[in-house]
């Protein structure tokens, strides 16, 4: 069982940037695709981005495409989410998860969730 720990969240003004990290322990990420999701208060956890096991495939939600970049370093067992041009509506708790089903954006297809890292964007 892999354990995931997210970090890098914080409070920024609109237009600012943050870089989130998700470090895996317990086992290597191997051939898992990795995804980022977010959950705002009172809302469902929603898909943000996913990356294939070797980084050759990436997919983003329409709301973040062009502003966010997902990447991974398998030698460090770490996945990143570079967030630029942040907007107040990006405010949420951000989670990373692992899946064997690259291409899925369904929360239920991902597991091994970490505790999340809070991102707050003020206008």
pLDDT of residue 83: 98
Rounded-to-integer distance, Cα 119 and Cα 18, Å: 8
Flag whether pLDDT at 108 surpasses 90.
Answer: yes
73-105: per-residue pLDDT in tens? 999 999 999 999 999 999 999 999 999 999 899
Q: What is the pLDDT of residue 79?
A: 97
List strand residue ranges (DSSP E) for 26-116, in order. Answer: 33-39, 46-51, 58-60, 68-73, 78-83, 92-99
Residues 6 or more apart whose CB falls under 8 angstroms from that of 76 comprise 23
CB 78 within 8 A of CB 101: no
Quote the pLDDT of residue 1.
80
Q: Per residue in 18-51, is it b (16+ CB within 10 Å) or e — as a string?
A: bebbbebeeeebeebbbbbbbeeeeeebebbbbb
Q: Please determine, for residue 62, whether its predicted confidence score (pLDDT) is greater than 80.
A: yes
**pLDDT-based confidence at residue 26 (cuts at 50, 70, 90):** confident
The percentage of the chain sitting over the pLDDT mark of 90, rounded to a whole number, equals: 89
Q: Can you give the pLDDT at residue 27?
A: 83
């Amino acid at each position: 069982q892999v354990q995931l720990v997210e970090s890098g969240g914080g409070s920024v003004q609109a237009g600012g940037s943050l870089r989130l990290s998700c470090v895996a322990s317990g086992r290597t990420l191997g051939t898992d695709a990795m995804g980022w999701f977010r959950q705002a208060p009172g809302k469902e956890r929603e898909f943000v981005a996913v990356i294939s096991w070797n980084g050759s495939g990436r997919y983003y939600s329409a709301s973040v495409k062009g502003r966010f970049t997902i990447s991974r370093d398998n030698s460090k067992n770490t996945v990143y989410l570079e967030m630029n041009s942040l907007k107040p509506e990006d405010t949420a708790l951000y989670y990373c998860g692992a899946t064997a089903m690259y291409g899925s954006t369904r929360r239920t297809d991902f597991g091994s969730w970490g505790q999340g890292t809070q991102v707050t964007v003020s206008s």
